Structure 1
Amino acid sequence: MGLELYLDLLSQPCRAVYIFAKKNDIPFELRIVDLIKGQHLSDAFAQVNPLKKVPALKDGDFTLTESVAILLYLTRKYKVPDYWYPQDLQARARVDEYLAWQHTTLRRSCLRALWHKVMFPVFLGEPVSPQTLAATLAELDVTLQLLEDKFLQNKAFLTGPHISLADLVAITELMHPVGAGCQVFQGRPKLATWRQRVEAAVGEDLFQEAHEVILKAKDFPPADPTIKQKLMPWVLAMIR
């Protein structure tokens, strides 16, 4: 059995892994794990990933979880352009710096924006108070400013003149609040231009393909009560 990737493109780290593999012509079998149906919580998927999270990778008898670990594994196993994860010590350290930072900052802010603005009220039928939503969007705004000031600055990409894993991970995160209807790039010309560069570097068709699901998040039908009951503990733990 060759490389298998367990993904749901609703998930931002899954989108990063999917885009990276497709862009670099890495052959893989796509195994869809439908988050909205709670398939990641099943006993069957727990055999692949006991943490019950996507993405997950199987390469023969070898199994790997966590999106950053998967991306790094793919850069090391396959012959991909150096700019994704540079050999140069300091250039690589800049990518590592961003990947270490984003877990508890940009990812958290973008995830909470999606769920508080759309997924709770539309999909789960749970109201979100105006105060909670305002606080979530204010947190997102602060994080976006940090992304610009600390990482993007006046560079073409987050860590230098070329696209890297940092940019791919960041843009897939930012498309979460975009899918919720947040004007993430409005009033942020540097960030908007950066997005255009990343999309061009990835390829517009691949970028749109990977984000088709999240851009329709506002149109998701309400969850079945049984599914809602199954998902609620997972959702609350995820966005806390």
Structure 2
Amino acid sequence: MALELYLDLYSQPCRSVYIFAKQNKIPFDFKQVTLFDAQQYGEEFGKINPLRKVPALRDGDFCLAESVAILIYLAEKFQTPDYWYPAEVQQRARVNEYLSWQHSALRLHGSKVFWLRLMLPKALGIEVPQEKMDAALEDLNGSLTLIEEKFIQDKAFIAGDQISLADLVAIVEIMQPVGSGLDVFEGRPKLSAWRDRVQAAIGQELFDDAHRTILEAQDRVVPMEQSKLHMFKAKVIKFFM
């Protein structure tokens, strides 16, 4: 059985796994799980990942959840170039430091802005109070400043002179609010220059391929069908509002 990756490219962690596998020529079967159709709640997907989240991986009888765990598994199993997850202990520590931080910081804040600016009003028909939006943007800007001042500093990439899993995970999260029409790079020359280096390291064609869905989100997103709305609305309001 070929390696299977269960993905929805609306999801930023899915994009990191997709880019990593493609960039490293890891053979896999792309299994689409459409989040907005609630396919993650289906019986069959529940057997792959009881957490009901994407990305998920199945490698024979072995199933794995959580994007960071999947990325490290792929790096180690397929012995990808060392710069992705360096063997040198301090460089690896820098990668792990970023991967440990980002879950409750950049990921949370970028996702929230995407949902407040686009998904809640357009897909769910929920009016977002201005004070909620302002607070979300302030949190996102705080995380972006930390990316520049703490993680990038004067380096080419987060862990040094070459791209790593840290940069890959960072760029897909930063691109999420861009999908809502927010230019997060405006007035941030250090962040913009880093983005350009990451794009070049990944390759523009693959970068564009992975981000096409999210960058077209403003045109793609339509009001959610009533039959699906009840599955999302309460959870989304609780999480983002």
Normalization by structure 1: what TM-score?
A: 0.97
CA positional deviation for 1:235: 2.9
Corresponding position of 1:206: 206
Does the 8 A contact of 2:85 with 2:95 survive in 1?
A: yes
Q: Secondary structure at the match of 1:151?
A: helix
Residue aligned with 2:63, SS:
strand
- Matched to 2:231, the amino acid is K
Residue 140 of structure 1 corresponds to 140
Structure 1 residue matching 2:125: 3-state secondary structure = coil
Residues 53-64 of structure 1: matches in 2 within 5 Å?
53-64=53-64
SS in 2 for 1:161: coil
1:154-185 CA-to-partner distances (Å, cap 9, x unmatched) read 11011211000000000000110100111100
Does the Cα contact within 8 Å between 1:108 and 1:239 map onto a contact in 2?
Answer: no
The CA distance in 1 between the partners of 2:238 and 2:70, in whole Å, is 23
Q: Is the CA contact 2:116–2:240 (under 8 Å) kept in the aligned structure 1?
A: no
CA distance in 1, matches of 2:76, 2:59: 13
Show the 5 A alignment for 1:35-114: 35-114=35-114
RMSD of aligned residue pairs (Cα, Å):
1.1
Q: Is the 8 A contact 1:155 1:161 kept in 2?
A: yes
Equivalent residue number for residue 224 of structure 1: 225
For residue 36 of structure 1, give the secondary structure of its aligned residue in structure 2: helix
The aligned amino acid for 1:235 is V
Residue in structure 1 matched with residue 180 of structure 2 by the alignment: 180
Instruction: Report the identity percentage.
Output: 52
Deviations 1:77-128 (A, max 9, x none): 0021100000001110000000000000000000001000100001111110
Shift of the 110–211 alpha-carbon distance from structure 1 to 2, 3 Å rule, reads same
User: Secondary structure in 1 aligned to 2:98?
Assistant: helix
User: Following the alignment from structure 1 to structure 2, what is the Cα–Cα distance between the partners of residues 6 and 210?
Assistant: 14
The reply to whether residue 194 of structure 1 matches residue 204 of structure 2 is: no
In structure 2, the CA distance between the partners of 1:237 and 1:3, relative to structure 1 (3 Å rule), is: farther
More deviation, 227-236/137-146: 227-236
| Corresponding residue of 1:167 | 167
Aligned residues between the structures: 240
Q: For residue 14 of structure 1, what is the amino acid of its counterpart? A: C
Q: Deviations over 1:54-91 (max 9, x none)?
A: 00000000000000000000000002110000000111
The answer for unaligned runs of 5 or more in structure 1 is none
Distance in 1 of aligned mates of 2:82 and 2:175 = 25
Alpha-carbon separation, structure 2, partners of 1:189 and 1:44: 46
TM-score (norm 2): 0.97
> Aligned equivalents of 2:238 and 2:148: distance in 1?
28
The alpha-carbon deviation at position 234 of structure 1 amounts to 4.0
Report the Cα distance in structure 1 between the residues aligned to 2:73 and 2:197, rounded to whole angstroms.
25
**2:168 equivalent to 1:158:** no
Is this contact kept in 2: 1:156–1:194, CA < 8 A? Answer: yes
Listed as ranges, the gaps of 5+ residues in structure 2 are: none
**Against the structure 1 CA distance between its residues 32 and 118, is the aligned structure 2 distance closer, same or farther, given a 3 Å change threshold?**
same
State how far apart, in whole Å, the 2-side matches of 1:65 and 1:239 are: 23
- Structure-2 separation of matches of 1:100 and 1:87: 18
Aligned-partner residue type, residue 200 of structure 1: A
